[in-house]
Amino acid sequence: MRFDIITVLPGLLESPFGHSILQRAQKKGLVEIVVHNLRDYAENKQKSVDDYPYGGGGGMVMSIQPFASCIEKLKAERDYDEVIFMTPDGITLNQSAANELSIRKNIIILCGHYKGIDQRIRDIYVTREISIGDYVLSGGELPAAILVDAVVRLIPGVLSDETSALSDSFQGDLLDAPIYTRPANWNGHMVPEVLLSGNQSVIENWRYEEALQRTRDRRPDLLDN
């Protein structure tokens, strides 16, 4: 799988993919993540990537030309399944969208800035608009990193059996049960007795009940399905 991320702030994306699971997935050749500096594609002398909005109003708007040139260049090199625009007015990212994207081959991600991007980029190129939640960030880079992380860990071979994505919160419509490690007694704060019992079926049952209770308390909407 390959991600091409187009941004005016490539420096913001230097680190998020260089650690732990994402780094290993790239080293194993399971995913390739390429970051493109939008400014490199600006054809004007000043290398500017934005302009004033038609009809007035505050803030700058990202222009069509640099995005179009970069997207067209990439599309001439390989086929893309999706061109995703990260935006607070997109559809909120959830586990089922991440699952769906994890079986795609090549994905372009556009990061917006300033007041937004010229609507025609969205009309011509974008296949999907994704938000990471109902709050506004300064740009689409951190949302893009979150999307890539959520998708890459679902690619077969990225996680080992022990850390399998199948046991994640949300994967089974329930939040995770509480977990503990040694010591069993921390200044009188004890690990629940049942986890020390060694009785696996009783432990599984306890975990299920705890997960159900946590989901009822925190995210009853997940149980509506």
Q: To the nearest whole angstrom, how small is the minimum distance from the Cβ of residue 10 to ligand ADE?
A: 16
Determine what percent of the chain falls in helix, strand and coil, rounding each to the nearest 5. 40, 20, 40
Three-class secondary structure of residue 160 per DSSP: coil
Q: How far is the CB of 149 from ligand ADE (least distance, A)?
A: 14
Whichever of 82 and 176 has its CB closer to ligand ADE, that residue is 82
Confirm if 84 and 109 have CB atoms less than 8 A apart.
yes
Minimal distance, residue 147 CB to ligand ADE, in Å: 8
Residue with tokens 């419509």: 173
Select 84 or 175, whichever has its Cβ closest to ligand ADE. 84
132 annotated as ligand-binding:
yes
Whether 115 contacts 53, CB under 8 Å: yes
**136 assigned ligand-binding residue:** yes
Closer CB to ligand ADE, 86 or 159, in the complex = 86
Residues that bind ligand ADE (CB under 6 A): 86-88, 112, 131-133, 135-137, 140, 143
Distances (CA, A) of 41 to 74, 110, 179: 12, 14, 49
Binding residues for S-adenosyl-L-methionine, as ranges, are 112, 132-137
